[in-house]
């Protein structure tokens, strides 16, 4: 999990799959800024997309998707969260979780009240 430092960037979008291209583009741009390779960038884009595919079906109608980014020297952490009527963390033995685990250095989920969040970290040069 991330510490309490303020994110380097934050993006809020409607919790709707139509806006995921914006999030993927932002993720790629920020990863390029810290010199991730093209393979690292693509893996992180896929992981963020997969995290949203887990979150969006549970998202409350009219909710927003909050995306926060922390940039390190060779590490990027992305936390995506949304409000849900009955938030349920993903099954850690399911296919989606395996995809996330394969594409990232670390992944975690959390429920805080009506908020479901997934936090992904990726180190530059990590090859699954």
**Stretch 90-103: mean pLDDT, rounded?**
90
Determine, yes or no, domain membership for 27: yes
Each residue of 58-81: pLDDT tens digit? Answer: 999 999 999 999 999 889 999 999
Determine, yes or no, domain membership for 53: yes
What's the token pair of residue 65? 């998707």
Residue 84 binned pLDDT confidence (cut-offs 50, 70, 90): very high
Determine, yes or no, domain membership for 1: no
Quote the radius of gyration of the chain (alpha carbons, Å). 13
What is the pLDDT, as a whole number, of residue 11?
96
What total of structural domains would you count in the chain? 1
Domain region containing 54? 9-123
- Distance separating alpha carbons of residues 114 and 28, to the nearest angstrom: 29
Looking up residue 82, the CATH number of its domain turns out to be 3.30.565.10
With beta carbons less than 8 A apart as the criterion, state whether 90 and 96 touch: yes
Pair type for strands 115-123 and 75-83: antiparallel
Determine, yes or no, domain membership for 4: no
**Stretch 49-65: mean pLDDT, rounded?**
95
**Stretch 103-115: mean pLDDT, rounded?**
95
Determine, yes or no, domain membership for 128: no
Determine, yes or no, domain membership for 3: no
Determine, yes or no, domain membership for 38: yes
With beta carbons less than 8 A apart as the criterion, state whether 79 and 110 touch: no
What is the pLDDT, as a whole number, of residue 1?
40
**How confident is the prediction for the chain on average, in pLDDT?**
92
Determine, yes or no, domain membership for 91: yes
């Amino acid at each position: 999990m991330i510490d309490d430092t303020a994110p380097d960037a934050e993006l809020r979008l409607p919790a709707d799959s139509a806006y995921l291209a914006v999030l993927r583009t932002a993720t790629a741009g920020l990863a390029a800024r810290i010199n991730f390779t093209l393979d690292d960038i693509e893996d992180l884009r896929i992981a963020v997309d997969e995290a949203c595919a887990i979150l969006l079906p549970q998202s409350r109608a009219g909710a927003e998707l909050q995306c926060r980014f922390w940039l390190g020297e060779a590490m990027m952490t992305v936390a995506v969260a949304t409000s849900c009527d009955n938030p349920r963390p993903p099954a850690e033995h399911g296919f989606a979780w395996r995809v996330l685990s394969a594409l990232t250095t670390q992944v975690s989920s959390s429920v805080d009240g009506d908020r479901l969040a997934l936090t992904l970290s990726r180190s530059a040069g990590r090859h699954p």
